[in-house]
Amino acid sequence: ATPEEDRTTANKARLFSKLKSVIWIPRSELDKFILKSDAVLIGPGMMRYAREGQAGEGGVYDDAGTETKMLTHYLLGKHPDKRWVIDGGSLQVMDADRIPKGAILTPNKREMQLLSGEGSEVRYLEEMAKKYSCVIVGKGAVGYATDGQTTYEITGGNAGLTKGGTGDVLAGVIAGLAAKNEPLLAAAAGTYLVKKTAESLFERVGYAYNADDLAENVFEVYKNLIDSDK
């Protein structure tokens, strides 16, 4: 086996040892899986840098960040009509002019600044969403979902949503909803659902919950919300 094949095998083994349910997709088959998917989330877990160092062109630190940028640009450009949710590492390194129309962006404050050069205040979210014909989610005690024309304000949640990984859960929930719903609705409903899940967890354990707990409980909260509306 080549060194690259050895690394791939080792990474696959580490992944399966940590996750309960996962499908391993070789990079050579990415396009095939994207084509048959209704919505695609890109960015969580993708690296901006492997180690701290001097920022290079575009704010990318080293080969890890460069690879993330190249893969993000390639996939967004190859499949511009796919329903994209963009988060995490992809938002940190991509160029704004590569945002596909109709994509949903879920930046934190730092990612918004890196991508747009602006803050995360709602007026900047609206301006950017309108400029690039996309939907942007603003995170915080008050959440927002905007397409530049219509903006939803979503209250609720608690400080537990500031913990690492909770933003990845939010992006995943939104991607799931985006598979069968319009982007703005998916973004607003996903934000609301995650906030309600955080409130449900707080009633049981206070702030002693993490991103895994959030992901494991979101479906129960979703079902309860649906049942209560019948």
Residue count of the chain, please give it: 230
Question: In angstroms, rounded to a whole number, what is the distance separating the alpha carbons of residues 133 and 119?
Answer: 19
**Sequence-ordered strand ranges (E) for the chain:** 39-42, 83-86, 104-105, 135-138, 143-146, 151-154
Residue 122 lies in a domain: yes
pTM: 0.89
As for how many domains the chain has, the answer is: 1
How much is the pLDDT for 54?
47
Residue 197 lies in a domain: yes
How much is the pLDDT for 2?
67
Residue 155 lies in a domain: yes
Does an H or E element contain 213, and which?
A: helix 211-228
Residue 72 lies in a domain: yes
Residue 149 lies in a domain: yes
Distance of CA 13 to CAs 10, 18, 24, 43, 68, Å? 5, 9, 10, 21, 22
Say if residues 154 and 174 touch (Cβ distance below 8 Å): no
Q: Which residue has the tokens 């019948």?
A: 230
How much is the pLDDT for 9?
74
Query: Domain residues for 128?
Result: 23-228
Residue 18 lies in a domain: no
**pLDDT tens digits for the chain (230 residues)?**
566 666 777 777 777 777 767 777 888 899 999 999 999 999 998 987 654 444 555 555 577 888 999 999 999 999 999 999 999 999 999 999 999 999 999 999 999 998 999 999 999 999 999 999 999 999 999 999 999 999 999 999 999 999 999 999 999 999 999 999 999 999 999 999 999 999 999 999 999 999 999 999 999 999 999 999 87
Residue 102: give its domain's CATH number: 3.40.1190.20
Say if residues 44 and 91 touch (Cβ distance below 8 Å): no
Q: Is the dihedral of CA 24, 41, 59, 73 positive or negative?
A: positive
Question: In angstroms, rounded to a whole number, what is the distance separating the alpha carbons of residues 149 and 134?
Answer: 10
Residue 83 lies in a domain: yes
Residue 11 lies in a domain: no
CA-nearest of 170, 136, 142 to 157 is 142
For residue 151, report the phi and psi dihedrals to the nearest 5 degrees.
Answer: -125, 130
